[in-house]
Structure 1
Amino acid sequence: MKYLKYTIITIIIFTFIFTWLFPQFIRCFFVELDDFQEIKTNIFVEKSISKQQQDSLIHYVINADSRIKDFWGKREGKAKIIFCKNAETYKKYAKTTEGAGFSIGTPLGSWIILNKDGLNIDVIAHEMCHDELMTRLGWWRTKKEIPTWFDEGLALMLDYRFVSSQDSIQRYIDYRSELSYLTSKPIPLEEIVTQKGFFGKSELFTKIAYFTSAVEVSRKISLKGKQEIFRTIEKTKKEGKFEF
């Protein structure tokens, strides 16, 4: 009985700490209790959205999945996708009104939250890439070692909203050109290592941070191929230290 008591107390304490660290976890985990339905494996939508939107979402997810497999070789991420019809619902799950998509990663599961602007293959592929990196490295290693600029720059390699060229050299040139339109001086990478540093300033700063990151990642791919990205990730996984 004494051991049972300690076990219950431990579970309660763990649950409290976990929900404090990941406040969206409970809501995401029990999404079907909040007027959502699963229309395809791991794809959840509000019950009130139209059949046309459901079909469009499935179509975009399938194509984003193909984009992930084409870049990574195969898809290992299993993030559940939650599509929110309006801004209020999106804010409940993403804890923000900004952006078209938001990724939530925890040791016990991951989710991609989308709003109506996220009904887009680029947005979905971008968020899937975040999940893919976390899945391959593990939650702790990703949070501890991977700088935000690398995570975001890598996701932009599968996001064609700003640069559509598939040629690695041209992609680097185009991202560098986009960055030059915004600023003559890229942000030093050490200033955008954390999410707070990357997203915690002005909208313009964040936009420059995105393109700075994309230039750095695309430059490496243009010089040594995407296999260099995989070598970096594998080395981080084995040695526990990120080097790029």
Structure 2
Amino acid sequence: MRHIYSILILISLLFVGTACEDDYRDMVFFTGEAPIYQIGTCDNLIGSVNLYLDKPEGIILGIDGGDGNYSITNGDNSIVSAAFVKSENGYQRLLVTPKSMGEIMITVRDSDGHSASLAVKVMDCMKLVLSKEQEGVVVLGDVTDEQKNDIVKAFSDLPAVKMGGLYELIPDEGKSFFEEGVLRVYLNDSAVPPLVGRYERVPVLVEGIEKSGIQFAYGDEKHIYRVGPSVELTKSMPQDPYLYFWEEVTELCPVEVPEGCSIFFVTLLKLS
């Protein structure tokens, strides 16, 4: 019995050991006090970072691995500066600060040829960028194909529900991306300057249940969307790179709408 019990313990330890696989690399960048080398946990190893010109303090990263005799190769000194700063907790630290907008690669090497690379993107400010992929009219309810086609055709030339080509959501200080902030709307014509307005989270009714929606207000336009198919707007950043914005436009329909039907102008947006 003791022999069987020992085998069961060994098997259970085997499964525990394989659940979090060790992540061995010659050299790494990391955030925080020390690197965490396990896949399947909240590791803090990092290979890319976004910096913002309105946050000139930049970021301090740790370096681990190699022989400790490090050197820096900066892809473009005009975009960021990269310099070693005082070591902490036995790890060399690297300070990266933004200088101008652009994308570059920083590589740290040791004397044995081991290296780690960091992709850096510098933007003007912290923002969520949404680009329009597709759009169309959705008719919900008991409706014939002929009625549906008439409704879709009636909306085809109605500019009141047309959105721009790209949106930038710049959260106010201390707010998450989907709470409130400055909205920039870039039209499909790139030669036209962006429209500037505001966005904020607002309540919307979905099948009689109050949920979080988002309101865009710019120029003379004001649009309220429910975001789907299932997005929690309290999160700082969506996990899915695609979002559906549903705007109810039943009252704007230029033709008769069958009783009990709802019409939505739906836009597929991609996080970029």
Structure with greater Cα Rg:
2
Q: Which structure's residues are more often helix, by fraction?
A: 1
Q: Which structure's residues are more often strand, by fraction?
A: 2
TM-score normalised to structure 2 length = 0.23
TM-score normalised to structure 1 length = 0.25
